[in-house]
Amino acid sequence: MRRALARARDPGPLPGIAAGLVARLDDIRITPRSILIPGDRCGTVTRLLEQRYPKASLLRLGPVPPAANPSSFPWFPWLTRLVKGRVAAVVADPRHLPLPDGVAQLAVSNMLLHWSSHPPAVLREWRRVLAPDGLLLFTMAGEETLTELRQCLDLLDRERSGRAWPRVPVLPDLGRLGDWLAGAGFVLPVADRELVRLTLPSAGVLLERLAALGAGNPHAVRHPGLTGKGFVHRLDALYRQRFPAPGTTGIRVTVEILCGHGWRRSTEERALRSTSSS
């Protein structure tokens, strides 16, 4: 994940998704003193939260150093710390944060969770560093994301090698995301989704856009050979045949954005449950 994000060159739709995510706080009554921001490569979440909560301290957590131009940081030591004003940044494994329990009242993460090989473990870690009555708010890609590309890659692999190789991340549906939140110990979990259909000129352009976002194959078991230009040309032909964008010469691309939030149980509620069960 760190290598893929370090290669990322273009934030693409991340700023718009981040703005919609932070806007959800309009309907939530919370005044945090400390805010964790796991995953904010474009910086939009941090900027908007600074404006919204001017008295709060913010800590950005990510697998690459946050910067306006990520390509200017080709390498950074693990757990390097950058401090600027009220905002500090730590490079850290999202499953093992170098933070004590209960340090923040709010955590906001934009399109990071699907990069993890074990999202439930990340959710448990985020809950650990939240204080009682703390809120987690996040977005991630859902299972319908790149469904057309996944189907075309499966067909092409079967044509060339007789089997389908895993190439696209396995993403959750809305029900599984709710189960993850509940399983991680969050109370009052809520999850919803937005389905976006895009039109791009070709499968080659889609692959270029994904590379610019830092996307890559997260699976340990992969096709042993190289793809090459012939692979991309055949992929484009399959894609155009099966998923043309109506009224254009381009292709259809589906993106599903899942948004979830959940609360860490309050100290008073834990005490009440303990008393009632004794």
Provide mean pLDDT across the span 191-216. 84
Strand partners, 136: 107, 262
Identify the three-state secondary structure at position 57.
strand
3-state secondary structure of 25: helix
pLDDT for res 167: 66
Per the structure, the count of domains in the chain is: 1
Whether the pTM exceeds 0.85: the reply is no
209: domain range?
Answer: 2-277
Share of the chain above pLDDT 90, in %: 50
Residues with Cβ < 8 Å from 252, sequence gap 6 or more? Answer: 148, 197, 198, 199, 243, 244, 245, 246
Task: Name the DSSP letter for residue 188.
Answer: E
Alpha helix segments (H runs only) across the chain: 2-7, 14-23, 44-52, 119-129, 147-161, 174-183, 203-212, 228-242, 267-277
Residue 151: CATH number of its domain: 3.40.50.150
Decide: 172 and 183 in contact? Cβ < 8 Å. Answer: no
pLDDT band for position 2 (cuts 50, 70, 90): very low
* Helix (H) and strand (E) counts in the chain: 9, 8
How far is 109 from 40, CA to CA, in rounded Å? 7
- The per-residue pLDDT for 223 is 56
Query: Which of 57, 35, 41 shows the shortest CA–CA distance to 6?
Result: 41
CB-based contacts of 210, cutoff 8 Å, min separation 6: none
| Per-residue tokens: 64 | 């690459």
Q: What is the distance between the alpha carbons of residues 200 and 207, in angstroms, rounded to a whole number? A: 10
DSSP 8-state symbol, 129: H
247: left (phi over 0), alpha (psi -120 to 50) or beta: left
Predicted confidence at residue 166, as pLDDT, reads 64
User: Is 62 within 8 Å of 87 (Cβ atoms)?
Assistant: no
Which residue blocks in 1-137 are alpha helix, DSSP H? 2-7, 14-23, 44-52, 119-129
Interval 232-266: pLDDT, tens = 899 999 999 999 999 999 999 999 999 999 999 87
